[in-house]
Amino acid sequence: MADDFEIDTGDLERRMDGAIASLRTEFASLRTGRASASMLEPVMVDAYGQKTPINQVGTVNVPEPRMVTINVWDKGLVGKVEKAIRESGLGINPQLNGTIIMLPIPELNEERRKELTKVASQYAEHARVAVRNVRRDGMDQIKKAKTDGMSEDDQKFWETEVQELTDRFIKVVDETLENKQSEIMQV
């Protein structure tokens, strides 16, 4: 009877991996001194009644090392794109030129580097929450299996497995954050 109950830790691990991949994508968007189109990837624009990535409302270019431009296709969205960039926490002041939004990338000073490490910490916390949500789903599966007749020993075993998996992924989040923060603070 005890062998009938098995928790799919592979699925939980894949979902936790997804949280780490998402964190790495967000970290790639944090600038460390050079302009990059990827720095705008996490910025979502409130367009047509839904949240839309900037690259789906305009063309993002990097014409020079310290400048990003966005050519917004719909004139009505220019203000919304500008607002989304201002509120994104990237610390960039957009400049309008018709339907083109120019984003001059300032040199990183010590204060700005500290702000970016705080943004990185927020991204890492979102990843930790995502990992914990997957853990909660795993624990819910275990509780359901317990009500379906899983033994207490099996329940303890699977709870330990899920917790160890969670701890491993939280450690990866922490290490990734530490690396990104040291990269940001490097002058």
Residue 187 is predicted with a pLDDT of 62
Which DSSP symbol is given to 108?
A: P
Name all domains of the chain by residue range, CATH numbers in brackets: 2-26+109-185 (1.10.132.20), 34-104 (3.30.1360.40)
Residue 17: HSE in the Cβ half-sphere, 13 Å Cα cutoff: 6
pLDDT at residue 20 is higher than 60: yes
Residue 41 is predicted with a pLDDT of 81
In this predicted model, what pLDDT tens digit does every residue of 100-118 receive, in sequence order?
A: 999 888 777 888 788 888 9
Query: DSSP letters along 164-184, please?
Result: HHHHHHHHHHHHHHHHHHHHH
Pull the structure tokens for residue 95: 């400049």
Q: Produce one character per residue of 75-86: b if its CB has 16 or more CB atoms within 10 Å, e if not.
A: eebbebbbebbe
In this predicted model, what pLDDT tens digit does every residue of 23-58 receive, in sequence order?
A: 988 887 776 666 777 788 878 998 888 998 988 999
Among candidates 124, 126, 142, 125, which has minimal Cα distance to 9? 142
Global confidence as pTM: 0.67
First-to-last alpha carbon distance for the chain, in angstroms, is 61
d(CA 73, CA 82): 13
Residue 14 is predicted with a pLDDT of 94
Contact between 44 and 52 under an 8 Å Cβ cutoff? The reply is yes
User: Chain-wide mean pLDDT for the chain?
Assistant: 87
